[in-house]
Amino acid sequence: MAVDFAHSPQVTELVEKTTTFVQNEVLPVEDAHFGDIEAAGGDKLRVELGDKARAAGVYAPHAPVEYGGLGLNMVDRAPVFEAAGYSLFGPAAVNIAAPDEGNVHMLAHIANAEQKEQFLAPLARGDVRSAFAMTEPAPGAGSDPSALATLATRTDNGWVINGRKHFITGADGAGFFIIMARTSGEPGQNGGATMFLAPADTPGLTVGRHITTLDRAMIGGHCEVTFEDLRLPEEAVLGEVDQGFSYAQVRLGPARMTHVMRWLGAALRAHDLAVELVADREAFGSKLGDLGMIQAMIADNEIDIAATRALLLQACWELDRGGRAANSTSIAKTYAAEAVGRIVDRSIQMCGGLGVSDDLPLARLSREVRPFRIYDGPSEVHRWAIAKRTVGAARRRAAAKKDDSRAAAKENGNG
């Protein structure tokens, strides 16, 4: 059976339009402010670029059509998000930046009609930003979500939430929060989590300090957030009580892949810039691009780009067919996070002193992509999960063979 990797003409056209928009409207702003989105205007810039993106027909490619988006599935998002990610500001401009993009995806799948109108609709339009509040200071939830310690207690009038979160991306200035809190069980136990929707101005919800990190291209920072007797009504529950960890998988797998898409775009920019430079620059009696060591780095970049795209599309294909795709998303995320870093690093090396200067964007691209090996699960945690699934599958096969052997022996009268 033939396998067709081609995207539809409509998606190809959207990629071209997104590329043009990013080149003409977004990259000049990023370069003028050295990749610091707050210095460039933060939310004011997001709104301005968003208006231009709408006019260009490239806004919210992932959001449901009924909420003003273009309704792309995961496979079709891949080249579009990559084109937007070519600029560090591109995702914010077209409303596909984290965490909003992942929250749009999750709300579209889980929220009820009233919640969609109150939270999803303004988020898809870009009227507000959002935050996903799950990560906690140790010993709370981090790479191990079962350590969730933030507590939601049921009352006669709804719920009261108490707890602390940190590294909450986009928290400063968010219009609402999706809060993961424990509603049953104890920290360390699987299950027992529930998601809650809370407007940012709800009494008891406080956004604290910005935790300074390497990256500078995400609006709203990575913040500490505190809940002190945060009171929410019953209708604030997103989905069903105690099903929060299951619902998180609706968001986390796709969000990992859209991170891959966006940061692959950034890595591609680094590669393009390096290739352009070495193709023209002379040293040691020839063009740099004709030297074997440089050609090896170019080839390795091309291999990492192609392999990342292939693993990404496999995972997206599984997600589009309704699968959890836990293994394929872990594989794609782990490989991509490390490949993107390699691509940018090689590009810097090819450009020499210029590569570590602000005369080219490579240094800031390196700063932005490095956290990806930690964000959305450290590479080590994904490797552990991949190995655990593989070993578990082998044990199940072995057990099945033993059962088959026993059954055959019994049928033959030897049991």
99-124: per-residue pLDDT in tens? Answer: 999 999 999 999 999 999 999 999 99
Domain of residue 307: give its range. Answer: 246-393
pLDDT at residue 299 in the model: 98
Section 11-23 average pLDDT: 98
Q: Is residue 178 part of a domain?
A: yes
Asked if the structure places residue 408 within a domain, the reply is no
Please, which pLDDT band fits residue 404 given cuts at 50, 70 and 90? Answer: confident
Q: Tell me the percentage of the chain whose pLDDT exceeds 70.
A: 99
Q: Are residues 236 and 250 in the same domain?
A: no
Same domain, 178 and 65: no
Residues 168 and 268 in one domain: no
Q: Which of 189, 223, 244 is the last residue of a domain?
A: 244
Regarding whether 193 and 223 lie in a shared domain, the answer is yes
- 154 and 78 inside one domain: no
Interval 230-253: pLDDT, tens: 999 999 999 999 999 999 889 989
CB atoms within 10 A of CB 405: 10
Q: Quick check: 288 pLDDT over 60?
A: yes
Which CATH number goes with the domain that contains 24?
A: 1.10.540.10
Please spell the DSSP secondary structure of 12-63, one letter per residue.
HHHHHHHHHHIIIIIHHHHHHTTT-TTTTTTHHHHHHHHHHHHHHT-S-TTS
**CA distances to 93, 198, 286, 364, 374 from 360, in Å:** 22, 42, 23, 9, 25
pLDDT value for 412: 79
In a domain, 402, yes or no: no
Residue 69 lies in a domain: yes
Domain CATH number, residue 348: 1.20.140.10
* 76 and 211 assigned to the same domain: no
Residue 414 lies in a domain: no
Given this model, what pLDDT does residue 24 score?
98
pLDDT score, position 410: 82
pLDDT attached to residue 1: 45
Claim to verify: residue 235 and residue 365 sit in the same structural domain:
no
CA 371 to each of CA 79, 338, 376: distance values in angstroms, whole numbers, following the listed order = 22, 10, 10
- 329 and 254 fall within a common domain: yes
Last residue of a domain, one of 105, 125, 145: 125
Whether residue 97 is found in the same domain as residue 54: yes
The model's confidence at residue 414, banded by pLDDT at 50, 70 and 90, is: low
Q: Specify whether 194 is located in the same domain as 253.
A: no
Q: What is the mean pLDDT of the chain?
A: 95
Q: Please check whether residues 258 and 240 belong to one and the same domain.
A: no
Pair 279, 326 in one domain: yes
CATH number at residue 204: 2.40.110.10
Count of domains observed in the chain: 3
Residue 164 lies in a domain: yes
In a domain, 256, yes or no: yes
Mean local confidence (pLDDT), 127-152: 95
Whether 108 is in a domain gets the answer: yes
Domain limit, last residue, from 100, 125, 150: 125
Calpha distance 111→196 (Å, rounded): 11
Predicted local confidence at residue 3, as pLDDT: 58
Query: According to the model, what pLDDT value does residue 6 have?
Result: 84
Rounded CA-CA distance 209/76 in Å is 37
Q: Give pLDDT tens digits for 133-142.
A: 999 999 999 9
SS3 helix, strand, coil % of the chain, rounded to 5?
55, 15, 30
Q: Is the pLDDT of residue 298 over 80?
A: yes
